[in-house]
Protein backbone atom coordinates (compact mmCIF):
# COMPACT_ATOMS: atom_id res chain seq x y z
CA UNK A 1 0.00 0.00 0.00
CA UNK A 2 1.35 3.39 -0.95
CA UNK A 3 1.77 6.12 1.62
CA UNK A 4 -1.60 7.37 2.85
CA UNK A 5 -2.21 10.93 3.87
CA UNK A 6 -5.21 12.97 4.72
CA UNK A 7 -6.67 16.14 3.36
CA UNK A 8 -9.50 18.27 4.52
CA UNK A 9 -8.60 19.30 8.04
CA UNK A 10 -8.29 23.03 8.36
CA UNK A 11 -6.97 25.03 11.22
CA UNK A 12 -9.99 25.90 13.34
CA UNK A 13 -8.59 29.17 14.54
CA UNK A 14 -9.36 32.34 12.63
CA UNK A 15 -10.48 30.74 9.37
CA UNK A 16 -14.12 31.67 9.72
CA UNK A 17 -15.24 28.05 9.43
CA UNK A 18 -18.43 27.42 11.38
CA UNK A 19 -19.91 24.02 12.01
CA UNK A 20 -23.64 23.47 12.17
CA UNK A 21 -24.92 22.32 15.57
CA UNK A 22 -26.44 19.20 14.07
CA UNK A 23 -26.01 17.38 10.80
CA UNK A 24 -28.49 15.38 8.76
CA UNK A 25 -28.90 11.72 9.62
CA UNK A 26 -29.17 10.43 6.07
CA UNK A 27 -28.66 11.55 2.54
CA UNK A 28 -25.58 13.58 3.33
CA UNK A 29 -23.68 15.03 0.46
CA UNK A 30 -19.93 15.11 0.35
CA UNK A 31 -18.95 18.62 -0.52
CA UNK A 32 -22.38 19.99 0.37
CA UNK A 33 -24.88 19.79 3.23
CA UNK A 34 -24.00 18.26 6.61
CA UNK A 35 -20.67 19.45 7.86
CA UNK A 36 -19.35 22.33 5.88
CA UNK A 37 -16.96 21.54 3.06
CA UNK A 38 -13.43 22.47 3.90
CA UNK A 39 -10.75 24.01 1.76
CA UNK A 40 -7.59 21.94 1.49
CA UNK A 41 -4.83 23.00 3.80
CA UNK A 42 -2.48 25.29 1.92
CA UNK A 43 0.64 23.23 2.61
CA UNK A 44 -1.03 19.85 2.31
CA UNK A 45 -2.85 20.55 -0.94
CA UNK A 46 0.41 20.22 -2.80
CA UNK A 47 0.78 16.68 -1.41
CA UNK A 48 -2.26 15.56 -3.40
CA UNK A 49 -0.87 13.77 -6.40
CA UNK A 50 -3.34 15.09 -8.97
CA UNK A 51 -2.76 13.07 -12.11
CA UNK A 52 -2.39 15.29 -15.18
CA UNK A 53 -4.94 13.21 -17.09
CA UNK A 54 -7.92 14.00 -19.24
CA UNK A 55 -9.98 13.95 -16.02
CA UNK A 56 -8.27 17.06 -14.66
CA UNK A 57 -11.03 19.66 -14.42
CA UNK A 58 -13.81 17.08 -14.23
CA UNK A 59 -16.22 17.26 -11.35
CA UNK A 60 -18.03 14.83 -9.07
CA UNK A 61 -20.97 14.86 -6.71
CA UNK A 62 -21.22 12.20 -4.02
CA UNK A 63 -24.22 11.66 -1.78
CA UNK A 64 -24.03 9.30 1.18
CA UNK A 65 -26.83 7.31 2.81
CA UNK A 66 -26.64 5.23 5.98
CA UNK A 67 -24.10 4.59 8.67
CA UNK A 68 -20.77 6.08 9.74
CA UNK A 69 -18.94 3.35 7.83
CA UNK A 70 -20.59 4.63 4.66
CA UNK A 71 -19.66 8.21 5.60
CA UNK A 72 -16.05 7.18 5.94
CA UNK A 73 -16.08 5.06 2.77
CA UNK A 74 -17.30 8.19 0.99
CA UNK A 75 -14.38 10.17 2.40
CA UNK A 76 -12.07 7.57 0.87
CA UNK A 77 -13.93 7.48 -2.46
CA UNK A 78 -13.73 11.29 -2.61
CA UNK A 79 -9.99 10.97 -1.95
CA UNK A 80 -9.61 8.49 -4.83
CA UNK A 81 -11.46 10.89 -7.15
CA UNK A 82 -9.51 13.94 -6.03
CA UNK A 83 -6.32 11.99 -6.62
CA UNK A 84 -7.48 11.46 -10.23
CA UNK A 85 -8.02 15.18 -10.75
CA UNK A 86 -11.75 15.42 -10.06
CA UNK A 87 -13.09 18.22 -7.91
CA UNK A 88 -16.24 18.10 -5.75
CA UNK A 89 -19.28 20.20 -6.66
CA UNK A 90 -22.29 20.94 -4.51
CA UNK A 91 -25.00 20.14 -7.01
CA UNK A 92 -25.42 16.95 -9.04
CA UNK A 93 -26.55 19.08 -11.97
CA UNK A 94 -23.04 20.55 -12.18
CA UNK A 95 -21.20 17.23 -11.94
CA UNK A 96 -19.68 15.02 -14.64
CA UNK A 97 -19.75 12.06 -12.26
CA UNK A 98 -22.69 11.55 -9.87
CA UNK A 99 -22.24 8.87 -7.22
CA UNK A 100 -24.62 7.54 -4.58
CA UNK A 101 -23.08 5.63 -1.70
CA UNK A 102 -26.07 3.63 -0.59
CA UNK A 103 -27.59 1.74 2.32
CA UNK A 104 -29.95 -1.20 2.15
CA UNK A 105 -30.25 -2.11 5.81
CA UNK A 106 -33.99 -1.39 5.74
CA UNK A 107 -36.34 -1.26 2.77
CA UNK A 108 -36.99 2.47 3.14
CA UNK A 109 -33.29 3.27 2.72
CA UNK A 110 -33.20 1.27 -0.53
CA UNK A 111 -36.37 2.95 -1.84
CA UNK A 112 -34.87 6.37 -1.24
CA UNK A 113 -31.91 5.54 -3.47
CA UNK A 114 -34.12 4.27 -6.31
CA UNK A 115 -36.12 7.50 -6.04
CA UNK A 116 -32.87 9.47 -6.44
CA UNK A 117 -31.85 7.38 -9.45
CA UNK A 118 -35.29 7.98 -10.98
CA UNK A 119 -34.53 11.71 -11.04
CA UNK A 120 -31.93 11.05 -13.76
CA UNK A 121 -34.21 9.17 -16.17
CA UNK A 122 -34.33 11.98 -18.72
CA UNK A 123 -31.41 14.07 -17.47
CA UNK A 124 -28.44 11.70 -17.27
CA UNK A 125 -27.22 12.51 -20.76
CA UNK A 126 -23.42 12.89 -20.78
CA UNK A 127 -23.02 12.22 -17.08
CA UNK A 128 -21.65 9.11 -15.42
CA UNK A 129 -24.11 7.93 -12.78
CA UNK A 130 -22.81 5.39 -10.27
CA UNK A 131 -24.24 3.39 -7.39
CA UNK A 132 -21.87 2.36 -4.62
CA UNK A 133 -22.26 0.52 -1.34
CA UNK A 134 -24.79 -1.88 0.09
CA UNK A 135 -27.60 -1.45 -2.44
CA UNK A 136 -25.10 -1.86 -5.29
CA UNK A 137 -23.94 -5.15 -3.83
CA UNK A 138 -27.47 -6.31 -3.05
CA UNK A 139 -29.07 -5.50 -6.41
CA UNK A 140 -25.99 -5.91 -8.62
CA UNK A 141 -26.61 -5.70 -12.36
CA UNK A 142 -30.38 -5.50 -11.65
CA UNK A 143 -29.70 -1.79 -11.16
CA UNK A 144 -28.84 -1.47 -14.88
CA UNK A 145 -32.25 -3.02 -15.66
CA UNK A 146 -34.15 -0.68 -13.35
CA UNK A 147 -32.10 2.41 -14.22
CA UNK A 148 -30.36 1.90 -17.60
CA UNK A 149 -28.72 5.33 -17.31
CA UNK A 150 -26.47 4.03 -14.49
CA UNK A 151 -22.93 3.11 -15.62
CA UNK A 152 -21.14 2.07 -12.43
CA UNK A 153 -22.29 -0.42 -9.78
CA UNK A 154 -19.76 -1.23 -7.07
CA UNK A 155 -20.16 -2.81 -3.62
CA UNK A 156 -17.93 -1.82 -0.72
CA UNK A 157 -16.00 -5.12 -0.71
CA UNK A 158 -14.74 -4.18 -4.21
CA UNK A 159 -13.80 -0.56 -3.52
CA UNK A 160 -10.12 -1.35 -3.89
CA UNK A 161 -10.95 -1.78 -7.60
CA UNK A 162 -12.58 1.65 -7.86
CA UNK A 163 -9.64 3.47 -9.48
CA UNK A 164 -9.54 0.75 -12.16
CA UNK A 165 -13.33 0.92 -12.70
CA UNK A 166 -13.26 4.70 -12.97
CA UNK A 167 -10.38 4.47 -15.45
CA UNK A 168 -12.50 2.13 -17.62
CA UNK A 169 -15.35 4.65 -17.60
CA UNK A 170 -12.99 7.50 -18.40
CA UNK A 171 -11.72 5.64 -21.43
CA UNK A 172 -15.22 5.24 -22.79
CA UNK A 173 -16.51 2.12 -20.94
CA UNK A 174 -20.31 2.04 -20.90
CA UNK A 175 -21.03 -0.17 -17.91
CA UNK A 176 -18.69 -1.39 -15.21
CA UNK A 177 -19.27 -3.41 -12.07
CA UNK A 178 -17.33 -4.32 -8.94
CA UNK A 179 -19.39 -6.93 -7.15
CA UNK A 180 -16.74 -9.32 -5.94
CA UNK A 181 -17.23 -10.39 -2.30
CA UNK A 182 -14.40 -12.84 -2.37
CA UNK A 183 -11.64 -10.65 -1.06
CA UNK A 184 -9.38 -10.62 1.94
CA UNK A 185 -8.29 -7.04 1.31
CA UNK A 186 -9.52 -3.87 2.97
CA UNK A 187 -10.15 -0.56 1.21
CA UNK A 188 -7.08 1.58 1.80
CA UNK A 189 -6.60 4.71 -0.22
CA UNK A 190 -3.69 6.99 -0.93
CA UNK A 191 -5.83 10.01 -0.12
CA UNK A 192 -8.75 10.29 2.26
CA UNK A 193 -10.75 13.47 2.18
CA UNK A 194 -11.79 14.31 5.73
CA UNK A 195 -15.27 15.85 5.95
CA UNK A 196 -15.42 16.07 9.74
CA UNK A 197 -13.28 18.78 11.26
CA UNK A 198 -12.91 17.27 14.67
CA UNK A 199 -13.57 13.55 14.60
CA UNK A 200 -11.52 11.38 12.27
CA UNK A 201 -12.76 7.93 11.37
CA UNK A 202 -10.46 4.94 10.97
CA UNK A 203 -11.91 1.67 9.69
CA UNK A 204 -10.12 -1.17 11.48
CA UNK A 205 -12.30 -4.09 10.33
CA UNK A 206 -14.55 -4.48 7.31
CA UNK A 207 -17.36 -6.94 6.56
CA UNK A 208 -18.97 -9.28 9.06
CA UNK A 209 -18.72 -12.99 9.84
CA UNK A 210 -21.87 -13.12 11.96
CA UNK A 211 -25.09 -14.18 10.29
CA UNK A 212 -27.88 -12.36 12.14
CA UNK A 213 -31.01 -13.61 10.45
CA UNK A 214 -32.43 -10.12 9.72
CA UNK A 215 -29.26 -8.45 8.43
CA UNK A 216 -27.97 -7.80 4.90
CA UNK A 217 -24.48 -6.74 5.98
CA UNK A 218 -22.67 -10.08 5.57
CA UNK A 219 -24.09 -10.22 2.04
CA UNK A 220 -23.45 -6.57 1.15
CA UNK A 221 -20.09 -6.00 2.85
CA UNK A 222 -18.60 -9.46 2.58
CA UNK A 223 -16.60 -11.49 5.09
CA UNK A 224 -14.70 -9.97 8.01
CA UNK A 225 -11.26 -8.50 7.19
CA UNK A 226 -9.12 -6.72 9.80
CA UNK A 227 -6.41 -4.19 8.96
CA UNK A 228 -2.86 -4.68 10.17
CA UNK A 229 -2.31 -2.86 13.47
CA UNK A 230 0.67 -0.94 12.13
CA UNK A 231 -1.42 0.52 9.27
CA UNK A 232 -4.06 1.64 11.79
CA UNK A 233 -1.46 3.18 14.10
CA UNK A 234 0.30 4.92 11.22
CA UNK A 235 -3.04 6.48 10.21
CA UNK A 236 -3.72 7.55 13.80
CA UNK A 237 -0.28 9.19 14.03
CA UNK A 238 -0.83 11.00 10.74
CA UNK A 239 -4.21 12.26 11.91
CA UNK A 240 -2.72 13.47 15.19
CA UNK A 241 -0.01 15.22 13.20
CA UNK A 242 -2.71 16.92 11.10
CA UNK A 243 -4.33 18.30 14.26
CA UNK A 244 -7.04 15.76 15.05
CA UNK A 245 -7.49 14.96 18.74
CA UNK A 246 -10.51 12.63 18.44
CA UNK A 247 -10.50 9.33 16.59
CA UNK A 248 -13.35 6.91 16.07
CA UNK A 249 -12.46 3.32 15.22
CA UNK A 250 -15.05 1.78 12.93
CA UNK A 251 -16.26 -1.68 12.10
CA UNK A 252 -19.59 -3.48 11.82
CA UNK A 253 -18.28 -5.60 14.70
CA UNK A 254 -15.36 -3.41 15.71
CA UNK A 255 -14.47 -5.49 18.76
CA UNK A 256 -14.11 -8.68 16.70
CA UNK A 257 -10.85 -7.12 15.43
CA UNK A 258 -7.95 -9.54 15.04
CA UNK A 259 -4.63 -8.16 13.87
CA UNK A 260 -3.63 -10.13 10.73
CA UNK A 261 0.03 -9.15 11.20
CA UNK A 262 2.48 -11.27 13.24
CA UNK A 263 1.72 -9.09 16.29
CA UNK A 264 -1.68 -10.79 16.44
CA UNK A 265 -3.23 -8.06 18.59
CA UNK A 266 -6.76 -8.31 19.93
CA UNK A 267 -9.13 -5.36 19.79
CA UNK A 268 -8.25 -4.18 23.29
CA UNK A 269 -4.51 -4.10 22.45
CA UNK A 270 -5.19 -1.91 19.44
CA UNK A 271 -7.52 0.31 21.48
CA UNK A 272 -4.83 0.95 24.08
CA UNK A 273 -2.18 1.59 21.41
CA UNK A 274 -4.32 4.12 19.50
CA UNK A 275 -5.11 5.90 22.79
CA UNK A 276 -1.35 6.16 23.44
CA UNK A 277 -0.66 8.04 20.18
CA UNK A 278 0.69 11.46 21.21
CA UNK A 279 -1.85 14.22 20.56
CA UNK A 280 -4.92 11.94 20.65
CA UNK A 281 -7.24 12.94 23.51
CA UNK A 282 -10.34 10.91 22.68
CA UNK A 283 -10.81 7.46 21.16
CA UNK A 284 -14.28 6.13 20.36
CA UNK A 285 -15.26 2.84 18.77
CA UNK A 286 -18.40 1.51 17.17
CA UNK A 287 -20.16 -0.93 16.78
CA UNK A 288 -19.41 -3.56 19.41
CA UNK A 289 -20.96 -7.00 19.14
CA UNK A 290 -21.98 -8.30 22.59
CA UNK A 291 -20.48 -11.72 21.87
CA UNK A 292 -16.98 -10.24 21.53
CA UNK A 293 -17.37 -7.69 24.31
CA UNK A 294 -15.04 -8.80 27.10
CA UNK A 295 -14.34 -7.38 30.53
CA UNK A 296 -10.85 -6.27 29.46
CA UNK A 297 -12.46 -3.56 27.31
CA UNK A 298 -14.10 -2.08 30.41
CA UNK A 299 -10.80 -2.36 32.29
CA UNK A 300 -9.04 -0.48 29.49
CA UNK A 301 -11.64 2.31 29.59
CA UNK A 302 -11.21 2.51 33.34
CA UNK A 303 -7.43 2.76 33.10
CA UNK A 304 -6.90 4.91 30.01
CA UNK A 305 -8.37 8.41 30.19
CA UNK A 306 -8.17 8.88 26.39
CA UNK A 307 -10.70 6.07 25.86
CA UNK A 308 -14.14 7.67 25.80
CA UNK A 309 -16.58 6.55 28.45
CA UNK A 310 -19.22 5.36 26.02
CA UNK A 311 -20.05 1.89 24.71
CA UNK A 312 -22.57 1.23 21.93
CA UNK A 313 -23.68 -2.35 22.54
CA UNK A 314 -26.72 -3.30 20.42
CA UNK A 315 -28.98 -5.84 22.10
CA UNK A 316 -31.71 -6.03 19.37
CA UNK A 317 -34.24 -7.78 21.66
CA UNK A 318 -34.74 -8.46 25.36
CA UNK A 319 -36.18 -11.92 24.71
CA UNK A 320 -33.77 -14.86 24.59
CA UNK A 321 -36.23 -16.69 22.36
CA UNK A 322 -36.20 -13.86 19.79
CA UNK A 323 -32.42 -13.47 20.11
CA UNK A 324 -32.10 -17.14 19.20
CA UNK A 325 -34.33 -16.62 16.14
CA UNK A 326 -32.20 -13.61 15.24
CA UNK A 327 -29.05 -15.80 15.52
CA UNK A 328 -27.50 -13.21 17.84
CA UNK A 329 -25.34 -15.81 19.68
CA UNK A 330 -26.08 -14.56 23.23
CA UNK A 331 -28.93 -14.76 25.71
CA UNK A 332 -30.61 -11.91 27.58
CA UNK A 333 -28.75 -12.96 30.74
CA UNK A 334 -25.34 -13.07 29.02
CA UNK A 335 -25.97 -9.62 27.58
CA UNK A 336 -27.03 -8.18 30.92
CA UNK A 337 -23.90 -9.61 32.50
CA UNK A 338 -21.88 -7.38 30.16
CA UNK A 339 -24.00 -4.38 31.08
CA UNK A 340 -23.19 -5.12 34.74
CA UNK A 341 -19.44 -5.08 34.01
CA UNK A 342 -19.82 -1.69 32.35
CA UNK A 343 -21.96 -0.29 35.17
CA UNK A 344 -19.41 -1.54 37.72
CA UNK A 345 -16.59 0.50 36.14
CA UNK A 346 -14.84 3.07 38.31
CA UNK A 347 -15.93 5.93 36.05
CA UNK A 348 -19.50 6.18 34.74
CA UNK A 349 -19.69 4.83 31.20
CA UNK A 350 -22.69 5.69 29.05
CA UNK A 351 -24.30 2.81 27.18
CA UNK A 352 -26.39 2.98 24.02
CA UNK A 353 -28.07 0.24 22.02
CA UNK A 354 -29.97 -0.75 18.87
CA UNK A 355 -33.34 -2.45 19.19
CA UNK A 356 -35.58 -4.05 16.57
CA UNK A 357 -39.30 -4.41 17.24
CA UNK A 358 -41.73 -6.62 15.34
CA UNK A 359 -39.31 -9.41 14.39
CA UNK A 360 -41.38 -12.30 12.92
CA UNK A 361 -43.10 -14.20 15.70
CA UNK A 362 -42.32 -11.59 18.38
CA UNK A 363 -45.12 -12.11 20.93
CA UNK A 364 -46.48 -9.58 23.42
CA UNK A 365 -44.49 -11.46 26.07
CA UNK A 366 -41.26 -11.15 24.02
CA UNK A 367 -41.88 -7.46 23.54
CA UNK A 368 -42.55 -7.04 27.28
CA UNK A 369 -39.10 -8.57 27.88
CA UNK A 370 -37.54 -5.93 25.65
CA UNK A 371 -39.33 -3.23 27.65
CA UNK A 372 -38.14 -4.72 30.93
CA UNK A 373 -34.59 -4.90 29.55
CA UNK A 374 -34.76 -1.14 28.99
CA UNK A 375 -35.60 -0.73 32.69
CA UNK A 376 -32.65 -2.91 33.72
CA UNK A 377 -30.02 -1.65 31.28
CA UNK A 378 -31.03 2.01 31.67
CA UNK A 379 -29.48 3.01 28.37
CA UNK A 380 -28.41 6.59 27.79
CA UNK A 381 -29.98 6.39 24.33
CA UNK A 382 -31.28 3.82 21.88
CA UNK A 383 -31.69 3.57 18.13
CA UNK A 384 -34.95 1.75 17.54
CA UNK A 385 -36.18 0.16 14.33
CA UNK A 386 -39.21 -1.66 13.00
CA UNK A 387 -38.13 -5.00 11.57
CA UNK A 388 -37.79 -4.73 7.80
CA UNK A 389 -37.62 -7.99 5.80
CA UNK A 390 -34.54 -7.94 3.56
CA UNK A 391 -33.51 -10.02 0.57
CA UNK A 392 -30.70 -12.55 1.08
CA UNK A 393 -31.40 -12.86 4.81
CA UNK A 394 -32.54 -16.04 6.53
CA UNK A 395 -35.40 -14.28 8.39
CA UNK A 396 -36.93 -13.17 5.07
CA UNK A 397 -39.15 -16.24 4.87
CA UNK A 398 -39.95 -16.71 8.55
CA UNK A 399 -43.65 -17.15 9.29
CA UNK A 400 -45.74 -14.99 11.65
CA UNK A 401 -44.94 -11.57 10.24
CA UNK A 402 -46.06 -8.80 12.59
CA UNK A 403 -48.49 -6.37 10.91
CA UNK A 404 -47.07 -2.94 10.12
CA UNK A 405 -49.49 -1.11 12.48
CA UNK A 406 -48.50 -3.38 15.34
CA UNK A 407 -44.81 -2.75 14.65
CA UNK A 408 -45.50 1.00 14.74
CA UNK A 409 -47.39 0.65 18.01
CA UNK A 410 -44.55 -1.33 19.63
CA UNK A 411 -42.00 1.19 18.37
CA UNK A 412 -43.97 4.06 19.91
CA UNK A 413 -44.34 2.21 23.25
CA UNK A 414 -40.62 1.39 23.26
CA UNK A 415 -39.59 4.95 22.51
CA UNK A 416 -41.95 6.34 25.15
CA UNK A 417 -40.51 4.02 27.81
CA UNK A 418 -36.96 4.94 26.84
CA UNK A 419 -37.79 8.65 26.80
CA UNK A 420 -39.02 8.43 30.41
CA UNK A 421 -35.78 6.63 31.39
CA UNK A 422 -33.66 9.31 29.72
CA UNK A 423 -35.61 12.19 31.27
CA UNK A 424 -35.19 10.71 34.77
CA UNK A 425 -31.47 9.90 34.29
CA UNK A 426 -30.60 13.20 32.62
CA UNK A 427 -32.26 15.30 35.36
CA UNK A 428 -29.74 13.87 37.80
CA UNK A 429 -26.87 15.33 35.76
CA UNK A 430 -27.96 18.95 36.27
CA UNK A 431 -25.23 20.75 38.20
CA UNK A 432 -22.44 18.43 37.00
CA UNK A 433 -19.52 19.72 34.91
CA UNK A 434 -18.18 17.96 31.83
CA UNK A 435 -15.33 18.45 29.41
CA UNK A 436 -16.86 19.23 26.02
CA UNK A 437 -15.18 19.23 22.62
CA UNK A 438 -16.88 22.17 20.92
CA UNK A 439 -18.12 21.21 17.45
CA UNK A 440 -20.92 23.65 16.69
CA UNK A 441 -22.06 27.18 17.16
CA UNK A 442 -25.16 29.22 16.75
CA UNK A 443 -24.72 31.83 14.01
CA UNK A 444 -24.92 34.64 16.58
CA UNK A 445 -22.02 32.90 18.33
CA UNK A 446 -23.53 33.23 21.75
CA UNK A 447 -24.44 29.58 21.92
CA UNK A 448 -22.10 26.66 21.35
CA UNK A 449 -22.53 22.93 21.11
CA UNK A 450 -20.31 19.96 21.72
CA UNK A 451 -19.98 16.41 22.95
CA UNK A 452 -18.76 15.03 26.23
CA UNK A 453 -16.52 11.98 26.36
CA UNK A 454 -19.68 9.93 27.01
CA UNK A 455 -21.11 11.39 23.77
CA UNK A 456 -23.75 13.58 25.43
CA UNK A 457 -24.69 16.65 23.44
CA UNK A 458 -24.53 19.91 25.42
CA UNK A 459 -25.52 23.30 24.02
CA UNK A 460 -24.07 26.07 26.16
CA UNK A 461 -23.52 29.78 26.45
CA UNK A 462 -20.12 31.38 26.71
CA UNK A 463 -18.71 34.91 26.74
CA UNK A 464 -15.89 33.69 24.48
CA UNK A 465 -15.99 34.39 20.75
CA UNK A 466 -14.19 31.48 19.15
CA UNK A 467 -14.41 28.08 20.78
CA UNK A 468 -14.67 25.71 17.82
CA UNK A 469 -12.36 22.76 18.29
CA UNK A 470 -11.61 23.69 21.91
CA UNK A 471 -11.99 21.43 24.94
CA UNK A 472 -13.90 23.42 27.58
CA UNK A 473 -15.56 22.72 30.92
CA UNK A 474 -19.33 23.10 30.80
CA UNK A 475 -21.75 22.99 33.73
CA UNK A 476 -25.16 21.43 32.96
CA UNK A 477 -28.00 23.80 33.83
CA UNK A 478 -30.94 22.01 32.18
CA UNK A 479 -31.64 18.51 30.94
CA UNK A 480 -33.88 17.35 28.12
CA UNK A 481 -34.43 13.76 27.02
CA UNK A 482 -31.81 13.93 24.26
CA UNK A 483 -29.54 16.86 25.04
CA UNK A 484 -28.50 19.31 27.71
CA UNK A 485 -28.15 23.05 28.18
CA UNK A 486 -25.23 24.44 30.09
CA UNK A 487 -22.83 27.26 30.67
CA UNK A 488 -19.12 27.56 30.06
CA UNK A 489 -17.17 27.33 33.30
CA UNK A 490 -14.44 29.89 32.73
N1 LIG B 1 -23.10 -4.71 13.45
C2 LIG B 1 -24.01 -4.08 14.31
C3 LIG B 1 -24.48 -5.05 15.37
O4 LIG B 1 -24.19 -6.22 15.30
O5 LIG B 1 -25.18 -4.63 16.25
C6 LIG B 1 -25.19 -3.52 13.58
C7 LIG B 1 -25.03 -2.91 12.26
S8 LIG B 1 -26.52 -2.50 11.44
C9 LIG B 1 -25.82 -1.54 10.18
C10 LIG B 1 -27.28 -1.25 12.47
C11 LIG B 1 -28.59 -1.65 13.06
O12 LIG B 1 -29.60 -1.73 12.07
C13 LIG B 1 -28.64 -3.00 13.73
O14 LIG B 1 -28.06 -3.00 15.01
C15 LIG B 1 -30.10 -3.30 13.77
O16 LIG B 1 -30.70 -2.81 14.95
C17 LIG B 1 -30.64 -2.53 12.56
N18 LIG B 1 -31.08 -3.45 11.51
C19 LIG B 1 -30.32 -4.26 10.78
N20 LIG B 1 -31.08 -4.98 9.93
C21 LIG B 1 -32.36 -4.61 10.14
C22 LIG B 1 -33.62 -5.00 9.59
N23 LIG B 1 -33.69 -5.93 8.65
N24 LIG B 1 -34.73 -4.39 10.04
C25 LIG B 1 -34.66 -3.45 11.00
N26 LIG B 1 -33.51 -3.05 11.57
C27 LIG B 1 -32.37 -3.62 11.15
FE1 LIG C 1 -25.46 -7.46 10.77
FE2 LIG C 1 -25.28 -9.12 12.84
FE3 LIG C 1 -23.10 -8.58 11.37
FE4 LIG C 1 -24.14 -6.69 12.97
S5 LIG C 1 -23.26 -8.66 13.61
S6 LIG C 1 -23.49 -6.45 10.85
S7 LIG C 1 -26.32 -7.09 12.82
S8 LIG C 1 -24.92 -9.68 10.70
Q: Which atom of ligand 2 is nearest to the CA of 287?
A: 4
Measured in Å, residue 11 CA sits from the centre of ligand 2 at 37
Report the b/e string of 292-321 with b at 16+ CB within 10 A: bbeeebbebbeeeebbbbbbbbbbbbbbbb
| Ligand nearest to the CA of residue 314, numbered in listed order | 1
Q: Is the CB of 229 under 6 A from ligand 1?
A: no
Ligand 2 centroid vs 207 CA: distance in angstroms?
9
Q: Atom 2 in ligand 2: which residue has the minimum CA distance?
A: 212
Whole-structure pTM value: 0.90
pLDDT of the chain along its 490 residues, tens only? 333 334 433 333 333 333 322 222 334 444 322 222 222 222 222 223 334 444 558 999 999 999 999 999 999 999 999 998 999 999 999 999 999 999 999 999 889 999 999 988 877 778 899 999 999 999 999 999 999 999 999 999 899 889 899 999 988 888 999 999 878 888 888 889 999 989 999 999 999 999 999 999 999 999 999 999 999 999 999 999 999 999 999 999 999 999 999 999 999 999 999 999 999 999 999 999 999 999 999 999 999 999 999 999 999 999 999 999 999 999 999 999 999 999 999 999 999 999 999 999 999 999 999 999 999 999 999 999 999 999 999 999 999 999 999 999 999 999 999 999 999 999 999 999 999 999 998 866 679 999 999 999 999 999 888 899 999 999 999 999 999 999 999 8
**Does the beta carbon of 289 sit less than 6 angstroms from any atom of ligand 1?**
yes
Q: How far apart are CA 265 and CA 252, in angstroms?
A: 18
The four Cα atoms 457, 459, 464, 465 give a dihedral, to 10 degrees, of 90
Amino acid sequence: MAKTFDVGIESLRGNGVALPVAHQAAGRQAGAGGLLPLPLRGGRGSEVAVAPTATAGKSFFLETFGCQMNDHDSEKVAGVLQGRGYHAVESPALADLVLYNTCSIREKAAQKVFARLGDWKTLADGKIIGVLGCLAQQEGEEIFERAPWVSLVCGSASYRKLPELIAQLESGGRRVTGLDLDTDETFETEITRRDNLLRAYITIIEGCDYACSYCVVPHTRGPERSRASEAVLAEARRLAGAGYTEIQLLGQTVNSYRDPSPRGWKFVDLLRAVAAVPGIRRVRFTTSHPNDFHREIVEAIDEVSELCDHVHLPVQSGSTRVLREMLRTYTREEYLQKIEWIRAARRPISITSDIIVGFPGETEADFAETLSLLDTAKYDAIFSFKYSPRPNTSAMHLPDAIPEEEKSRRLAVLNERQRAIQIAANEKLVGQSYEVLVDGCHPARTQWGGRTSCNRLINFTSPHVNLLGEYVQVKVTRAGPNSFAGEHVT
